[in-house]
Amino acid sequence: MTAVREAVVLPALLLTVVLLGGMRLTGDVAFVPPPLFALVLAVLLLATLIRSGALAPERLVHAARPPLAVVNGGLVLLALFLASAQVFHLVTPESGLPRLAFHVFFLVLLLNTWASSPDRTRLLRSLMVIFGSAFVFKFILLAAISDPASGRLQRMMLVLLDGVTLGTLTQQPFHPALGYVAFLTLALFLAAVALLPPPLHRRQLPDTHGELPAQPTAGELVEGERLERRR
Protein backbone atom coordinates (compact mmCIF):
# COMPACT_ATOMS: atom_id res chain seq x y z
CA MET A 1 0.00 0.00 0.00
CA THR A 2 1.35 3.40 -0.91
CA ALA A 3 1.87 6.14 1.65
CA VAL A 4 -0.59 8.39 -0.20
CA ARG A 5 -3.33 5.80 0.07
CA GLU A 6 -2.65 5.11 3.74
CA ALA A 7 -2.02 8.65 4.96
CA VAL A 8 -4.28 10.70 2.70
CA VAL A 9 -6.87 8.80 0.64
CA LEU A 10 -8.21 6.32 3.20
CA PRO A 11 -8.51 8.81 6.12
CA ALA A 12 -10.14 11.39 3.85
CA LEU A 13 -12.69 8.87 2.51
CA LEU A 14 -13.47 7.40 5.92
CA LEU A 15 -13.77 10.73 7.73
CA THR A 16 -16.11 11.96 4.99
CA VAL A 17 -18.23 8.88 5.65
CA VAL A 18 -18.18 9.70 9.40
CA LEU A 19 -19.30 13.25 8.61
CA LEU A 20 -22.03 12.41 6.09
CA GLY A 21 -23.19 9.22 7.79
CA GLY A 22 -24.47 11.10 10.83
CA MET A 23 -25.96 14.02 8.93
CA ARG A 24 -29.75 14.27 9.13
CA LEU A 25 -31.75 16.76 7.09
CA THR A 26 -35.16 17.51 8.55
CA GLY A 27 -35.52 21.21 7.84
CA ASP A 28 -32.48 21.86 10.04
CA VAL A 29 -29.15 20.08 9.67
CA ALA A 30 -28.21 17.83 12.56
CA PHE A 31 -25.18 15.61 13.11
CA VAL A 32 -26.25 12.55 15.06
CA PRO A 33 -23.66 10.30 16.73
CA PRO A 34 -24.06 6.54 16.23
CA PRO A 35 -26.14 4.57 18.75
CA LEU A 36 -24.43 1.93 20.90
CA PHE A 37 -25.71 -0.92 18.75
CA ALA A 38 -24.03 0.58 15.68
CA LEU A 39 -20.73 0.41 17.58
CA VAL A 40 -21.30 -3.28 18.26
CA LEU A 41 -22.05 -3.88 14.57
CA ALA A 42 -18.93 -1.92 13.61
CA VAL A 43 -16.78 -4.16 15.81
CA LEU A 44 -18.32 -7.23 14.16
CA LEU A 45 -17.71 -5.77 10.70
CA LEU A 46 -14.07 -5.08 11.50
CA ALA A 47 -13.67 -8.62 12.81
CA THR A 48 -15.25 -9.97 9.62
CA LEU A 49 -13.03 -7.81 7.41
CA ILE A 50 -9.93 -9.11 9.20
CA ARG A 51 -11.07 -12.73 9.17
CA SER A 52 -11.89 -12.67 5.47
CA GLY A 53 -8.62 -11.04 4.51
CA ALA A 54 -10.14 -7.76 3.35
CA LEU A 55 -8.11 -5.96 6.01
CA ALA A 56 -4.70 -6.86 7.38
CA PRO A 57 -4.24 -4.74 10.54
CA GLU A 58 -0.56 -5.75 10.72
CA ARG A 59 0.00 -3.80 7.52
CA LEU A 60 -1.28 -0.68 9.27
CA VAL A 61 0.02 -1.06 12.81
CA HIS A 62 2.99 -3.30 13.39
CA ALA A 63 6.08 -2.92 15.56
CA ALA A 64 8.28 -3.37 12.47
CA ARG A 65 6.86 -0.26 10.80
CA PRO A 66 8.23 3.27 11.36
CA PRO A 67 6.40 5.15 14.15
CA LEU A 68 4.92 7.70 11.73
CA ALA A 69 3.49 4.92 9.56
CA VAL A 70 2.01 3.26 12.66
CA VAL A 71 0.25 6.52 13.60
CA ASN A 72 -1.11 6.83 10.04
CA GLY A 73 -2.27 3.22 10.15
CA GLY A 74 -3.83 3.64 13.60
CA LEU A 75 -5.83 6.62 12.37
CA VAL A 76 -7.07 4.56 9.41
CA LEU A 77 -8.28 1.83 11.79
CA LEU A 78 -9.97 4.37 14.08
CA ALA A 79 -11.63 6.14 11.14
CA LEU A 80 -12.72 2.77 9.71
CA PHE A 81 -14.37 1.85 13.00
CA LEU A 82 -16.23 5.18 13.24
CA ALA A 83 -17.21 5.11 9.57
CA SER A 84 -18.55 1.55 9.91
CA ALA A 85 -20.67 2.59 12.90
CA GLN A 86 -22.03 5.60 11.02
CA VAL A 87 -22.81 3.55 7.90
CA PHE A 88 -24.90 1.10 9.95
CA HIS A 89 -26.54 4.08 11.65
CA LEU A 90 -27.28 5.66 8.27
CA VAL A 91 -29.02 2.69 6.67
CA THR A 92 -30.97 1.65 9.78
CA PRO A 93 -34.52 3.08 9.99
CA GLU A 94 -34.92 5.74 12.65
CA SER A 95 -37.70 4.22 14.73
CA GLY A 96 -40.26 1.50 15.31
CA LEU A 97 -40.42 -2.08 14.16
CA PRO A 98 -38.17 -1.60 11.08
CA ARG A 99 -35.36 -0.35 13.33
CA LEU A 100 -35.55 -3.43 15.54
CA ALA A 101 -35.82 -5.73 12.51
CA PHE A 102 -32.77 -4.11 10.90
CA HIS A 103 -30.70 -4.47 14.05
CA VAL A 104 -31.47 -8.19 14.17
CA PHE A 105 -30.95 -8.49 10.39
CA PHE A 106 -27.51 -6.85 10.51
CA LEU A 107 -26.42 -8.81 13.58
CA VAL A 108 -27.40 -12.19 12.11
CA LEU A 109 -25.94 -11.36 8.70
CA LEU A 110 -22.61 -10.24 10.15
CA LEU A 111 -22.35 -13.22 12.48
CA ASN A 112 -23.18 -15.53 9.57
CA THR A 113 -20.62 -13.84 7.33
CA TRP A 114 -18.01 -13.99 10.09
CA ALA A 115 -18.69 -17.69 10.66
CA SER A 116 -18.65 -18.60 6.96
CA SER A 117 -15.38 -16.68 6.51
CA PRO A 118 -15.66 -15.74 2.83
CA ASP A 119 -12.66 -14.52 0.88
CA ARG A 120 -12.03 -10.81 0.29
CA THR A 121 -13.89 -10.53 -3.03
CA ARG A 122 -16.95 -12.39 -1.77
CA LEU A 123 -17.06 -10.29 1.38
CA LEU A 124 -16.94 -7.05 -0.60
CA ARG A 125 -19.79 -8.29 -2.81
CA SER A 126 -21.70 -9.36 0.28
CA LEU A 127 -21.27 -5.92 1.90
CA MET A 128 -22.47 -4.26 -1.28
CA VAL A 129 -25.61 -6.40 -1.23
CA ILE A 130 -26.22 -5.85 2.52
CA PHE A 131 -25.84 -2.08 2.43
CA GLY A 132 -27.52 -1.78 -0.98
CA SER A 133 -30.61 -3.68 0.20
CA ALA A 134 -30.79 -1.68 3.42
CA PHE A 135 -30.49 1.55 1.40
CA VAL A 136 -33.31 0.54 -0.96
CA PHE A 137 -35.52 -0.50 1.96
CA LYS A 138 -35.00 2.66 4.02
CA PHE A 139 -34.63 5.38 1.43
CA ILE A 140 -37.00 4.09 -1.25
CA LEU A 141 -39.59 1.70 0.20
CA LEU A 142 -40.01 3.07 3.74
CA ALA A 143 -39.65 6.66 2.51
CA ALA A 144 -42.42 6.06 -0.06
CA ILE A 145 -44.90 4.64 2.45
CA SER A 146 -44.08 7.37 5.00
CA ASP A 147 -44.37 10.27 2.54
CA PRO A 148 -47.08 12.67 3.79
CA ALA A 149 -47.00 14.77 0.62
CA SER A 150 -48.26 12.00 -1.65
CA GLY A 151 -51.76 11.70 -3.13
CA ARG A 152 -55.03 11.37 -1.21
CA LEU A 153 -55.37 7.63 -1.89
CA GLN A 154 -51.86 7.00 -0.64
CA ARG A 155 -52.49 9.08 2.47
CA MET A 156 -55.59 6.99 3.21
CA MET A 157 -53.55 3.82 2.75
CA LEU A 158 -50.92 5.30 5.06
CA VAL A 159 -53.53 5.95 7.78
CA LEU A 160 -54.81 2.36 7.38
CA LEU A 161 -51.27 0.98 7.51
CA ASP A 162 -50.53 3.06 10.61
CA GLY A 163 -53.67 1.67 12.24
CA VAL A 164 -52.86 -1.95 11.39
CA THR A 165 -49.23 -1.72 12.50
CA LEU A 166 -50.03 0.53 15.52
CA GLY A 167 -47.78 3.20 14.02
CA THR A 168 -44.67 1.04 14.26
CA LEU A 169 -43.91 0.84 10.53
CA THR A 170 -44.02 4.38 9.16
CA GLN A 171 -41.07 6.71 9.73
CA GLN A 172 -40.62 10.43 10.20
CA PRO A 173 -40.29 11.92 6.70
CA PHE A 174 -36.86 13.24 5.84
CA HIS A 175 -35.47 15.68 3.30
CA PRO A 176 -35.29 14.18 -0.23
CA ALA A 177 -31.61 15.17 -0.47
CA LEU A 178 -30.76 12.77 2.37
CA GLY A 179 -31.21 9.78 0.05
CA TYR A 180 -28.60 11.17 -2.35
CA VAL A 181 -26.23 11.95 0.54
CA ALA A 182 -26.71 8.39 1.83
CA PHE A 183 -25.98 6.92 -1.62
CA LEU A 184 -22.77 8.92 -1.87
CA THR A 185 -21.79 7.94 1.68
CA LEU A 186 -22.28 4.23 0.98
CA ALA A 187 -20.31 4.48 -2.28
CA LEU A 188 -17.43 6.20 -0.45
CA PHE A 189 -17.48 3.62 2.32
CA LEU A 190 -17.42 0.65 -0.06
CA ALA A 191 -14.62 2.30 -2.04
CA ALA A 192 -12.63 2.79 1.18
CA VAL A 193 -13.18 -0.84 2.22
CA ALA A 194 -11.99 -1.99 -1.21
CA LEU A 195 -8.83 0.11 -0.75
CA LEU A 196 -7.94 -1.41 2.65
CA PRO A 197 -4.68 -3.38 2.63
CA PRO A 198 -5.15 -7.17 2.32
CA PRO A 199 -2.66 -9.59 3.91
CA LEU A 200 0.58 -9.98 1.99
CA HIS A 201 0.29 -13.75 2.08
CA ARG A 202 -1.73 -16.41 3.81
CA ARG A 203 -0.34 -19.59 5.24
CA GLN A 204 -2.32 -22.61 6.29
CA LEU A 205 -2.06 -23.23 9.99
CA PRO A 206 -2.10 -26.92 10.82
CA ASP A 207 -3.93 -26.57 14.15
CA THR A 208 -6.74 -24.35 12.86
CA HIS A 209 -7.56 -26.27 9.68
CA GLY A 210 -6.60 -23.31 7.58
CA GLU A 211 -9.37 -21.08 8.88
CA LEU A 212 -7.27 -18.21 10.19
CA PRO A 213 -4.74 -16.13 8.28
CA ALA A 214 -1.30 -16.52 9.75
CA GLN A 215 0.46 -13.46 11.18
CA PRO A 216 3.62 -12.64 9.21
CA THR A 217 6.81 -12.00 11.09
CA ALA A 218 8.30 -8.51 11.15
CA GLY A 219 10.90 -9.49 8.54
CA GLU A 220 8.30 -11.00 6.21
CA LEU A 221 6.17 -7.90 6.55
CA VAL A 222 8.94 -5.47 5.68
CA GLU A 223 10.08 -7.64 2.78
CA GLY A 224 6.51 -8.03 1.53
CA GLU A 225 5.88 -4.27 1.64
CA ARG A 226 9.14 -3.73 -0.26
CA LEU A 227 8.25 -6.25 -2.94
CA GLU A 228 4.75 -4.90 -3.35
CA ARG A 229 6.06 -1.35 -3.72
CA ARG A 230 8.51 -2.54 -6.35
CA ARG A 231 5.65 -4.23 -8.27
Partner 1 sequence: MSERTVRIAGLAGTVAYGALVGWLYLHQPQTLAQVTGGLTSAVGAYRVDQRALDEGLRFFRNDQFVEARMAFERADPAVRDPVTQFYIAYSYYRQGWGRMYSDDDLYALGLQAVDRAITLAPNGRIVVDDENLGMKSAEELKAELEAGLRREMSDFNPARLLRERK
Which residue ranges make up the site for partner 1 (CB under 8 A)?
A: 3-4, 6-8, 11-12, 15, 18-19, 22, 28-31, 33, 68-69, 71-72, 75, 79
Q: Is 129 exposed, middle or buried (0-12, 13-18, 19+ CB in 10 A)?
A: exposed
* Identity of the residue, 72 or 92, whose beta carbon is nearer to partner 1 in the bound complex: 72
- What minimum distance in Å lies between the beta carbon of 4 and partner 1? 6
29 phi and psi angles, rounded to 5 deg: -95, 130
User: Smallest distance, Å, CB 194 to partner 1?
Assistant: 19
Return the number of the residue (129 or 184) whose C-beta is nearest partner 1. 184
Is 1 or 169 the residue whose CB approaches partner 1 more closely? 1
Helix (H, G, I), strand (E, B) or coil at 53: coil
- Dist. CA 111–CA 22, nearest whole Å: 24
Q: Min. distance of Cβ 23 from partner 1 in angstroms?
A: 9
The dihedral region occupied by 101, where left means phi > 0, alpha psi between -120 and 50, and beta the remainder, is alpha
Nearer to partner 1, 168 or 172 (CB): 172
User: In the complex, what is the shortest distance from the CB of residue 186 to partner 1, in angstroms, rounded to a whole number?
Assistant: 18
Beta bridge partners, 24, equal: 30
CA distances for 52 relative to 56, 111, 144, 222, angstroms: 9, 13, 36, 22
